[in-house]
A = this chain, B = another copy of it.
Amino acid sequence: MAPHREGSDASVEAMVAQVEKHPISSILIIIAMQTEALPVVNKFQLIENPHSSFPKGVPWIHYHGAYKDIIINLVWPGKDLTFGVDSVGTISASLVTYASIQALQPDLIINAGTAGGFKEKGAAIGDVFLASHVAFHDRRIPIPVFDLYGVGLRQTFSTPNLLKALNLKTGKLSTGDSLDMSPHDEASIAANDATVKDME
């Protein structure tokens, strides 16, 4: 993702120029839950890689395959070894994304899954959103500059053609490690101007 700043025509143009110079040939899809991952695995007929380069002992699952001339890798953090539930949340997502970048060197990363949406911001059940910006709502560090680090606002990689071709909605996404929404979270989500809320 691009450094912290508001989207501008200039930055979008720069990203498009970058893609034209280095076309995307390898995509990494990160999905937190098995029930979210399997429909994508089935759709693209991806195969589980039993010899992934992840360290021994981690539950991370690597699927791979191709669509036209694009290599597709999908990584799901797997089931927590102690509790047997999907390893949701920002820590697992960060670890598998880091390890997958090291192992697979993708050109583009798509973090996909189900999310909450706010009606008053124009979201409806079944909508598909492409996040324009991502930020945290549960890292409150009320010290100058640390506060901005905690929120960690980032502009996502700009994909104007994708947005247009698939007629998707777009909006800002706020993330945090809780499924519920405390009053403090709600205030931060509003400050993040978020249409979409997820946990990764």
CB distance from A155 to the nearest CB of B (A): 11
* Size category of the binding interface on chain A: 35 or more
* Copies of this chain in its oligomeric complex: 2
Q: Does A83 contact B (CB under 8 A)?
A: yes
Within 8 A of B (CB), among A75-114: 80-85, 87-91, 94-95, 98-99, 102
Binds B, one of A20-28, A122-130, A142-150: A142-150
Contact A140 B83, beta carbon cutoff 8 Å = no
Report which of B80, B89, B145 forms a contact with A84, defined as CB distance below 8 A: B145
The main secondary structure of chain A at its interface with chain B is loop
Chain B contacts for A81, CB-based, 8 A: 3
In the bound complex, residues from chain B placing their C-beta under 8 Å from that of A142 are 179-180
Inter-chain contacts of A161 with B (CB < 8 A): none
> Which residues on the B side are within 8 Å of A98 (C-beta)?
95, 98-99
Is B95 a contact partner of A149 (Cβ separation < 8 A)? no
Residue numbers in B under 8 Å from A99 (CB-CB): 98
Shortest A104–chain B CB gap in Å is 13
User: In the complex, which residues of chain B have a beta carbon less than 8 angstroms from the beta carbon of A87?
Assistant: 149
* Interface flag for A177 (CB, 8 Å): yes
Mark A residues whose CB is within 8 Å of B: 3-4, 55, 80-85, 87-91, 94-95, 98-99, 102, 136, 138-143, 145-146, 148-150, 176-180, 182-184
Additional 14 contacts, C-beta under 8 A, given A82-B149, A87-B149, A141-B179:
A80-B149, A83-B145, A83-B146, A83-B149, A88-B141, A89-B139, A90-B91, A91-B94, A95-B95, A138-B177, A141-B178, A143-B179, A146-B179, A182-B183
Those 6 A-B pairs whose CB atoms lie nearest each other, nearest first: A140-B178, A139-B177, A182-B184, A83-B149, A141-B179, A91-B94
